[in-house]
Amino acid sequence: MNDLHNHSSELAILKGAVENTNEAFVTIDQNHKVIFFNKAAENIFGYGRDEVIGHDLDVIMSHSCSRDHRQAVERYAKTRVPGRIGHETEMLATRKNGKTFPASISFSVSDIDGILYFTGIVRDLTETNALKEKVIRSERLAALGQVVAEITHEIKNPLMMIGGFANQLIREAEDEKSLTKLNIIADEVSRLESLLKELKELYLPRALNIEEIDLNKLLQEIYSLVKGDCEGQKINAEIKTDNKPVIVEADRARLEQVFLNLLKNSIEAMENGGNLSVQPKLIGDTVEITIADDGIGIPEDAKEKIFSPFFTTKKHGTGLGLSISKSIIEEIEGSSLTLKSEDGKGTVFKITMPVCKEGMKKSIKTDKAGVPHKDP
């Protein structure tokens, strides 16, 4: 009796462990019918158990994968020679919503009373691969940073001398033709100096001065800096913030740089006027800041490259502004910078950042009557 009780306890423990693991467990019989589908499988694939258990495995597989898998099951049932069984392999799997994701899959087989049962253990590699990519990118940036530091050192001094002599000659030039050429030289030197500065910003590490920032207040300040430009270009600009503080933790100067750069991009995209809006919105523990314009937009073939260094759709530009902005935002844990755009119909930049709850509590005090008020 005790043996039976112990056996039942062991089975319950094993079932609980498999049910609550992070890996998806999917078990089928030799007829390809699903007989087990744990919670992780529901989360990873997006199907409920009632949609899968008792049905053919085809439910959660693409046609080509299902065909190959069915043939492998039939082959093993006939030959008992394992192919992928006992091995781990990587492949693209498909969720219920049709989106694919990288997955690691290992297979095992059980023979119970002459009936074969096949179990696939699936791990979603989306986050793992993203982390690997981040590490590779960090290593690449470190290497590039070293190259940039050396190039900047070699170029900076002679560039300053060229610019200095050009400006000196401009003051002494008498004929219009020479003056035009010298102004071109001075302008190009200035452009190259700006490029070197942006390269250092993108590739060289820098100490961050992290502090608590009232995002609404910062956006209002930045809006005041571009308001004149908007009026000059007949752009109807609007910033939609409320009086409640939204506190984030970041390097203030760098965050200001991002917002200014994004607003500048939007303003430059509306040479003939238009509408520009800036709106922060609290969503749970995060804040989403959208910067939307109805300018020229971004061509479809340029969207994937728009955050890449040196890629630009402008006639005059280094192609580093958006890349630097994305890098700055991604330095803040849990933050992201994305965009949606349609050629000829405008662009929407979206920055997502975690809010600092403790900081928000400190910024609101209560008076003697129990009425909350902000610091003056």
Q: Which of 82, 105, 124 is the last residue of a domain?
A: 124
Number of domains in the chain: 3
pLDDT tens digits for the chain (376 residues)?
455 445 566 667 777 777 878 899 999 988 889 999 999 999 999 999 999 999 988 888 877 677 777 777 778 777 777 766 767 888 888 899 988 999 998 888 888 888 888 888 999 999 888 888 877 776 666 666 666 776 776 777 788 888 888 888 888 888 888 888 888 888 888 878 777 777 766 666 666 788 999 999 999 998 888 888 888 888 998 988 877 889 999 988 889 989 988 998 899 888 888 999 999 999 989 999 999 999 888 888 787 788 877 767 666 666 677 888 888 898 888 899 999 988 888 999 999 999 987 655 554 443 333 334 433 3
- Kindly state whether residues 344 and 224 are assigned to the same domain: yes
Q: Which helix (H) or strand (E) holds 305?
A: none
CA distance readout (Å), 343 to 139, 294, 346, 348: 35, 10, 7, 12
- Kindly state whether residues 326 and 236 are assigned to the same domain: yes
Question: Where does the chain have alpha helices with state H?
Answer: 2-19, 39-45, 49-52, 63-79, 126-172, 176-203, 215-232, 252-268, 321-330, 357-362
**Is 374 part of any domain?**
no
- Kindly state whether residues 294 and 163 are assigned to the same domain: no
What pTM, to 2 d.p., does this model score?
0.52
- Kindly state whether residues 27 and 99 are assigned to the same domain: yes
Calpha distance 37→64 (Å, rounded): 21
**Is 58 part of any domain?**
yes
**Is 19 part of any domain?**
yes
- Kindly state whether residues 133 and 120 are assigned to the same domain: no
- Kindly state whether residues 258 and 353 are assigned to the same domain: yes
| Residue range of the domain that includes 150 | 129-203
- Kindly state whether residues 85 and 187 are assigned to the same domain: no
Q: Which residues pair with 341 in a beta bridge?
A: 347
Q: Which of 181, 203, 225 is the last residue of a domain?
A: 203
**Is 370 part of any domain?**
no
- Kindly state whether residues 136 and 90 are assigned to the same domain: no
CA distance readout (Å), 256 to 100, 216, 219, 250, 355: 37, 12, 8, 10, 17
| Assigned token pair, 10 | 């062991």
- Kindly state whether residues 36 and 79 are assigned to the same domain: yes
- Kindly state whether residues 180 and 220 are assigned to the same domain: no
